[in-house]
Structure 1
Amino acid sequence: MIESRYWREKLRDELKWLRKKQTYKRWSEKQMVLYERQLMLVAFGVKLLIVIVI
């Protein structure tokens, strides 16, 4: 069984990174791609935690 504690800790760090980047006023293409990729990884992490808990 996967230990959800490790996923939650990693997810918290990734959410902090996303929140920090939200304050950008002008986005380069690279910044948008990196933000979108990180957002997708966070969404996958949340989905995985839901599956593990249920």
Structure 2
Amino acid sequence: MALFLFLILVAIILGLIGVAVNGLFYLLIIGAVVLVAAVVLFGMRWSRRSYRHHVVR
């Protein structure tokens, strides 16, 4: 969970710098890519956890 939050924070910071500074639009794109990677990573971890908790009768 800490890695997910760190990646979200990095994506926000890169996005803000990319928007604020003229000529650094590529940082906004990198921030968007990091955000998508963080969401995918979180989704993969969440789906693996749900499969482990099956009740066996």
Q: TM-score, normalised by structure 2?
A: 0.56
Question: For structure 1, which runs of at least 5 residues remain unmatched after alignment?
Answer: none
Percent identity over the alignment?
Answer: 9
What residue in structure 1 maps to residue 10 of structure 2?
A: 14
Moved >6 Å (runs of 4+):
none
Give the structure, 1 or 2, with the largest relative contact order (CA under 8 Å, sep 6 or more). 1
Question: For structure 2, which runs of at least 5 residues remain unmatched after alignment?
Answer: 48-57
* 1:37 aligned partner, one-letter code: I
Structure 1 counterpart SS, 2:45: helix
- Equivalent pairs, count: 46
Match runs of 1:1-54 below 5 Å: 5-17=1-13, 18=15, 20-21=16-17, 24=20, 27-28=22-23, 31-54=24-47
